[in-house]
Amino acid sequence: MRKPALLLSSLAISSVVLTLAACGGGSDTSGPDAVANAADSPAAVQNRARNHSTTKSTQATGTNATPSAVTCSTGTRSTFYGINGHLNMGGAYSKSSFATQIAQVQDLGFALYRNDVIDQWGANNVAAFAKQAKATSGPCVTIYPTIGPNNSDWGSNETDAYNRAYALGKASATAMKGSVPVYEVGNEMENAALVGNGDGNKPSDYDNTWFSKGRGVINGTIDGIRSVDTTTPIILSSISWLHFGFDDMLLGGTGPDGSSGHQIPKVDAVAFHWYSDMGDIENACGGTGCYNALQKMASYGKPIWLTEYGARPEMGSQSTIASYIVGNKMLGDFATLAAKYNIQSTELYQLYDDASNGGDGNYGVIQDDGKTQKTSYAKVKAFIAANPK
């Protein structure tokens, strides 16, 4: 969930209600570097997946199920509104108890709380939060993970990346199965593979070695999850700005070097990120022209999850930022366009400021003390209350 600087040159799946099991963390101690059983080794799974994957222009499918609501003892709450957090990062997220964060997410009106997982400890922490949220009275709230190793841990090649990610995916699903409504694999992974100063919408904008390792991470994580959990929906790693070339290649089984026939990720939805300096999501202009980003994402034939959106902290005052977030270029627009482009969920970035903790910056609706509400807190809360989905 890091926020890299933009590279600007001028710069139908069936929907189901998923009932969460009333259980939390698991007892698996294999860890992200554990070796799977020989009969179900990462290499064996990968080879089977390669042999049976759909290639060229036909996309592989997932479970054909995505959650439309979080269900709990007190009723349901739509998954359209969610928010990001960093339970495993520290700072205010360590200072504030699970109970405090659950109460804040409930009060704002969100159903989902998106958090990153890069290791077994993080998976167990996320699972523990999900269990506590499930048991908490009041409006339904649950957490969902964004799973994948840091790019410094991808290894030396695609196979190495696959094996490492497979172990993490398996360990994560072992801890979280039954306690999360969806898994997301990876986060803005295309940024590690981008080269030059292009818009990211062409294969030539990507380094083949880094793209291949990213593909290995994504497929390895998915296959690791599926070795434990065969039904919970999976969201493809998010892309941002005009970086469509990454998903074009992933979902087409191709690579920057012109090769084809590669394993295609089997996912149930695609993820996209949009920030204030990116402009109009239906008319975003870069060095190669202007694009309807939502139309492009919808062309993949899967529901869209806007798993990060927000205003850059430097764009202005708290009031300016708050108005932009709920305005007609952001959340107001997303809510209006949801049916047209099959936008199933949106996750605001983020709950707490984290600049003082070495994080992405002060994007939060609450300051880094974990208590003081910013102007955007009340604005977002009011918008969600007035625009139920």
DSSP assignment of 262-300 equals PPPP--SBEEEEEEGGG--TTSEEETTEEE-HHHHHHTT
Share of the chain above pLDDT 70, in %: 85
Does the pLDDT of residue 343 top 70, yes or no?
yes
| CB-CB contact of 233 with 183 (8 Å) | yes
Does the pLDDT of residue 29 top 70, yes or no?
no
Residue 60 — pLDDT band, cuts 50, 70, 90? confident
**DSSP per position, 25-48:** -------TTPPPPGGG-HHHHHHH
Q: What's the whole-number mean pLDDT along residues 6-10?
A: 30
CA distance 335 to 107: 20
Does the pLDDT of residue 156 top 70, yes or no?
yes
Does the pLDDT of residue 5 top 80, yes or no?
no
The pLDDT score that the predictor gives to residue 12 is 29
The pLDDT score that the predictor gives to residue 11 is 27
Residue 75 — pLDDT band, cuts 50, 70, 90? confident
CB atoms near residue 372 (< 10 Å): 11
Q: How far apart are the first and last CA of the chain?
A: 25
What pTM, to 2 d.p., does this model score? Answer: 0.86
pLDDT digits (tens, 9 = 90+) for 171-225: 999 999 999 999 999 999 999 999 999 999 999 999 999 999 999 999 999 999 9
Residue 2 — pLDDT band, cuts 50, 70, 90? very low
pLDDT digits (tens, 9 = 90+) for 279-315: 999 999 999 999 999 999 999 999 999 999 999 999 9
CA distance 181 to 118: 19
Residue 22 — pLDDT band, cuts 50, 70, 90? very low
Domains of the chain listed by start with CATH number: 28-386 (3.20.20.80)
